[in-house]
Amino acid sequence: MLRTDWTRAEIRALFDLPFTELVFRAAQVHRAHQAADEVQLCTLLSIKTGGCPEDCGYCSQSAHHGSGLKAEKLMDVNSVLSAAAEAKAAGSQRFCMGAAWRSPKERDMPKVVAMIEGVKAMGLETCMTLGMLDEGQARTLADAGLDYYNHNLDSSPEYYERVTSTRTYQDRLDTLENVRNAGVSVCCGGIVGMGETREDRIGFVHALATLPRHPESVTVNALVPIRGTPLGDMLADTPMARVDDIEFVRVVAAARIACPMSMIRLSAGRESMSEAAQALCFMAGANSIFTGDKLLTTGNAGDSADAALFAKLGLRAMEGDEPMRVAAE
């Protein structure tokens, strides 16, 4: 039922629709497949911060840039579990753990496995994002009970090489395949506002919608400009390069139409988005957010601002599993 044969021309035609028509169609698709008043709450924790050998042009954690972020060692398991307990108490459904690695090292795996087992035992869904995985590593995480793995395509295949030089788009696709083959659900998305063109945004949505199976979760981040990173400096020095809210909502709407059963997560950049812009994103089919006042290294809207927004918009926290996982059972 879910189309994975979208052409770029079809995705382009969505972007070219009058804005209100695009949002209306996305809202229809959303209602046909999911409960449109439910929004999933996820919490992030950086379990290994900074000092990353990759050179992603947007990232505060790359050792190649001068963001000034202090590198830290892998957290101990108990500290991760207490952060997870706090997230659960705050109403979060999923706990996502991120590490600034190119890929996990063998010596780190026992701790990572203990984190997955411990967080899962609290009744939370587990997600990890640790960089590239080979088949064996994906299987180890699956055996530990990992529910989701986040690994982003970030942009179109053409723009990707302008964003990161230490790995290729194909490397990203290979890890996604290893995660899928191990039976772990996929969380995959990208960043809007890195200086890419409309055609790159079309290529990005097209890449997600033509994966062999749509990601269960799609993250849509707005670039958080970080001083000292190439893309952060570019945006801070050229405010005109900022993608406006209407174009951002178009990306959400096109992703919703192309991947009707996926969860679409409004991710980084929400802190500086107006309530009206966020409401438009929810209207266009976004149905997941990161909660709490911190993402990995940057700020987030915070629980009280989100509770107020949900009350204003009549939204409620989702409790069930993601539709694609329910359908697969």
Binding site for ligand SAM (CB under 6 A): 58-59, 98, 100-101, 129, 131, 151-152, 154, 190-191, 221, 223-224, 226, 268, 296
Q: Does residue 96 carry a catalytic annotation?
A: yes
Contact map string, positions 121 to 140, toward ligand SF4, x by CB under 6 A: ----------x---------
**Cβ pair 21, 31 in contact under 8 A:** no
Report the binding-site residues: 52, 56, 59, 96, 127, 187, 265
CA 214 to chain centre: 14
Among 11, 75, 100, 284, contact with ligand SF4 (rule: CB under 6 A): 100
Q: Does residue 127 carry a catalytic annotation?
A: yes
Which CB sits closer to ligand DTB, 12 or 102? 102
Which CB sits closer to ligand DTB, 202 or 231? 231
3-state secondary structure (DSSP) of residue 119: helix
Which CB sits closer to ligand SF4, 54 or 196? 54
Q: Does residue 59 carry a catalytic annotation?
A: yes
Q: In the window 38-97, what residues touch ligand SF4 (CB under 6 A)? A: 52, 54, 56, 59, 61-62
Q: How far is the CB of 145 from ligand SF4 (least distance, A)?
A: 24
CB within 8 Å of 113: residues ≥ 6 apart: 140, 141, 144
Q: Does residue 56 carry a catalytic annotation?
A: yes
Pick one of ligand SF4, ligand SAM, ligand DTB, none as the site partner of residue 223 (Cβ within 5 to 8 A by kind): ligand SAM
Bin 314: left if φ > 0, else alpha if -120 < ψ < 50, else beta: left
3-state secondary structure (DSSP) of residue 59: coil
**Cβ pair 128, 186 in contact under 8 A:** no
In angstroms, the CA 88 to CA 301 distance is 18
78: its two tokens: 């108990």
In angstroms, the CA 251 to CA 11 distance is 10
In angstroms, the CA 261 to CA 240 distance is 34
In DSSP terms, 125 is beta-bridged to 94
Give the binding site for ligand SF4 (CB under 6 A): 52, 54, 56, 59, 61-62, 100, 131
Would you name the residues annotated as active-site residues? 52, 56, 59, 96, 127, 187, 265
